[in-house]
Each structure stands twice: as C-alpha cells, then as structure tokens.
Amino acid sequence: MDRWLSHPTALKIISIILGLLLWAVVHIDPDTSPEAVTSSFDIKTIEAARIITDGLNEEKFTLSAMEPTVVRIVVQGRISDLLKASSVEDYEVKVDLNDAKPGIQELPLILDLPKGIQLVEMSPRTVTVQLEEILTKPFELQVVAEGKPADGYIAGTPAVVSETNGVEVTLPKDDMSRVGLVSAEVNVDGADETVVNKKAKVIVYDTEGIEMTNAVVTPETVHVEVKVTPPFKTVPLQVRYTGSLPDGLSIVSIKPAIDQVTVYGEQKLLDEVQVYDGAVLDLSKVKQSGSLQVKTQPVEGIKLIEPAEVTLDVVVAPTATRTLKDTKVMINGVTAGLTALIRSPEDGKIDLTISGAESVLSALRPDEINVIADVEGLGPGVHIVPLQVDVPAFVQTVISRGQPLTVSIEILDSAAAEAEQEAAEEVGGTPSEPPPAESSDSGDGINGDNASDGTTTDTGT
C-alpha cells in the first residue's frame, strides 16, 4: 500500500479527486435539492387560450355563436422550449368547420402545440357552434334627402347617379326576413344649388328602423344627386310665332315634341302662371318641312325653364286660297236698350277669301270662321264698322284690292226698332235684319245684353 501511495501517478489521481471535492464544497448551495439541480423540464398552464375557427365557407355560412370561446390547457416540456413559446398565441386551439352543417352542433377541439411541448390537460375538449346559412338578395335603393335647403329653395327627389338603383344585401337567412329598408342619405341642409355626385353610404335597416350592422352591402357607397331649385310648376306649352313665311308657303302643322314645360320662380308668381308662351318660332327661318329647335326664354317672374330647348316638327305646303260665300256677320258690343241693324250689305253676309295650305283649307268647317262687327260704345245712328275675322291657326284672310271689310250698321232705340219691324210686317215687307229679343243667346250678337266683349284676333299666320 505504501509503495502504491508513493507512486507518482497515484498521487496525481488523488490530487484531482481532492480538487473536485473542494470545488463542490464551494459552489453547491446546501439548501438546493439534488432533483432541482439536475431537472431541465417544467410544466406550464395557459388559462385562456383563444379558440379559432378553421375551414368555414364564408360564402355559404356565418358563425353566429360559439361556446366557449377560450380553453384552459396544461403543457410540459423542456424549460428552454417553454421559454420560446411564452405567448398565448403560440398555442393554437382550432375547431374544424369544413364539414359543419347549418344549425347547432358540438365539435372536437384540435390543439396545435409548439415543437418539444406536450399536452398534459385541456378543458374543455369540445365546443358548441351555431352556423347560419347566408343569403344574398337584391333590394331597391331609396335615397333620402336630409336637412332643409336655403330659404326660397326646395329639394327635388334624390336619385342615384348610376345605371341602376339596386344593391345586393348579404345576411344570415333568419336576418334577411327582417330587412325593412335599404337607403342612402344625402345632406342638403342650407343648399342653394343642386347637389351633384355626392358620395353616400348604403345602410340597411330592419323593420323597426334599427341599423343592421352585420349586413354586407354591394356596393357599400353610391353617388347621388339632389336637385335644389326655386319652387317650380308644370304648365302647358304654347308656341308663339314671329315673322312671315316665304311667299307661296303656308303652315300645315307645328307640333312640339312636348306639350308641357317646368317653370321655376317665386311661389306667388307661379300661382298666377297658367301657360308658358316663351317659346317663339321665327317663321322667316322656315324654308321647308322638318324639325327646328327653339329656346325656352325666361318670361316675367320665371327664373328657369326646363327643358331649355323645344323641338318643333314643322310641316309646310304651297299656299292655296278658298272663298267662303255668304259668310254671316255677327254684331257684338251693343249697348243695353239699343238695337243694331246691318243696312249694307242688306242680307248681312259677305264673301270671304282665305288662304292656307290645301290640306288645312279642306278640313276647315264653316263654324270655325267668325266675322264680327264690334259696335261697343257706338250710339244711335248709322256707322261704318270695320270687320274682325276670326280664323283658325295657319289660316289667313285675303283682302283683295278695293274689297271693303266693313259694314254699314244703324243703331236704333229698341222701341223704334220694334216699331219699324211692326210697320214692315203690316205691308208684308221684311227688315234687312230681324231684330232679336232683348236677351238672345243665338250667337248673332244683335242685342247688347248677352253680346261678347267683341275681342277677336286673327290667329292665322
């Protein structure tokens, strides 16, 4: 033994052993258990790992409910691996919805753990989900104007600036039946001009007027327009004429493409407007049949007219003439208590020549021509009274050189006229014009009590 201990190699081994013992005495904590020093594994608990869905066909279904939404998991692994996966997002808990059907169902949970970590416990291991079928339906879009325009202006009906007023709404099947209104709102508060191309959000409301925030709308926004104008009114269009046609031509017809226009102005002035006659056709510019454009000019009290132009379909033809034999002369404007008698011509009739297009003259009826002698304000005595000829549109009176358009009328006291008639009857004669009763509706206008005001104009062109 002594010889072994004295050997150099033995002494070296003993020295190494003693050095290791001394190092251990210095570095090892006496309060630390041997198991804690030598173990490299640990256990970790995640109290609320979020459940995520996988494989949901979002074009057909929507996940309306899921219970629970988080789970508790306990895992174990090397300390180094646990430290690497320290976030809750590193532990994925999934529910597979690839084969799920509409309705309520219980499905297993799938846990995807980081590398090197093992599951000890997961609670719960299943989840209850509710899937609803998704529907997409077209709806008519209603545009609503909000607010009040500036004083003296009114807002028209809002409209979508696009080819269609329809939108598509996507909702769960049960919610689709609750849709009450699909609308876009545009603000016109204080506006004094038309709101053009305003972008508005499309909102879906249920039958109780509550916004359905889960609705998916296509398109989400639309461009709308709201006319903001002064008050307006729609009235009949009456075309006026100026100038004269070239020699040898007469109007057959003038037909506007529209028969009404919209006029804008102050309300009190609009109340008085019954017809719009601001469209004027210059006949001197008509050379042949065809379409002509005339502007709708503002008239007194009217600020704007729509449309700004009117298309007229004008038909012309060569001028023809026609003579109306024995056209009766009517007397208007006789003062009460007086009687008017035509002395010349004795029969109270004249021959009248008129001109116009052949088709217009052929269709003319005798009762459409009125020849009137106006004696309003004339007292007793014999008077030469000019005649007024009332003819239809596009017909003219032709006055030949030397042809008088006058008649000789004697105005008598009614009593004297009756005495003259009685005397004529006694000798078997007939007065030149039989006096009517004091109140007559015959249309001859002899008695002033029921005579017209005598205002007759030539409407021929």
Tell me, yes or no, if the two domains 141-229 and 232-317 fold the same way.
Answer: yes
Cis peptide before 307 (omega within 30 of 0): yes
| Alpha-carbon distances of 174 from 86, 129, 178, 395, rounded to whole Å | 42, 17, 8, 73
Is the pTM of the predicted complex or chain greater than 0.85?
A: no
Report the CATH number of the 141-229 domain: 2.170.120
Q: How far apart are CA 418 and CA 436, in angstroms?
A: 10
CATH architecture of 319-450: Beta Complex (2.170)
Backbone angle region of 428, left / alpha / beta, with phi > 0 → left and psi within -120 to 50 → alpha: left
Q: Which fold has domain 41-133?
A: RNA Polymerase Alpha Subunit; Chain A, domain 2 (2.170.120)
Residue 291 has a pLDDT of 92
Place of tokens 């809750």: 88
Residue 448 has a pLDDT of 32
The β-bridge partners of 139 are: 167
Q: How far apart are CA 127 and CA 67, in angstroms?
A: 6
The superfamily in CATH containing domain 232-317 is: YbbR-like domain (2.170.120.40)
Alpha helices in 232-341 (DSSP H): 267-270
φ and ψ of 343, to 5 deg:
-95, -30
Parse the chain into domains and list their residue ranges.
Answer: 41-133, 141-229, 232-317, 319-450
Largest CA distance in the chain: 201
Write out pLDDT tens, residues 166-196.
899 999 988 999 999 999 888 888 887 778 7
Q: How far apart are CA 388 and CA 350, in angstroms?
A: 12
Number of helices and strands in the chain (H, E):
8, 29
Q: Count CB atoms within 10 A of the CB of residue 200.
A: 19
- Class of residue 114 by CB neighbours under 10 A (exposed 0-12, middle 13-18, buried 19+): middle
Helix then strand then coil, % of the chain, to nearest 5? 15, 50, 35
Structure tokens, 331: 């007397």
Per-residue pLDDT of the chain in tens (461 residues, 90 and over written 9) = 556 556 667 666 777 777 777 766 555 545 544 444 445 889 999 888 999 998 888 888 888 889 999 999 999 999 888 888 888 888 889 999 988 888 899 999 999 888 889 999 999 999 999 988 888 999 988 888 888 888 778 887 888 887 666 899 999 988 999 999 999 888 888 887 778 778 889 999 999 999 999 999 999 988 888 888 888 889 999 999 899 899 899 999 999 999 999 988 888 888 888 898 889 999 998 999 999 999 998 887 787 889 999 999 999 999 999 988 889 999 999 998 898 999 999 898 988 889 999 999 998 888 889 999 999 999 999 999 999 999 998 998 888 766 678 999 999 887 766 777 666 666 554 444 444 433 333 333 323 333 333 333 333 33
DSSP character string of 443-459: SS--BGGG---------
Q: How many residues does the chain have?
A: 461
- Ranges of beta strands (E only) in 244-380 are 249-256, 260-264, 276-282, 290-295, 304-306, 309-332, 338-344, 349-357, 370-374
Residue 304 has a pLDDT of 85
Q: For the chain, how big is the Rg over CA atoms in Å?
A: 53
- Ranges of beta strands (E only) in 177-308 are 179-187, 195-206, 216-218, 221-226, 228-229, 232-242, 249-256, 260-264, 276-282, 290-295, 304-306
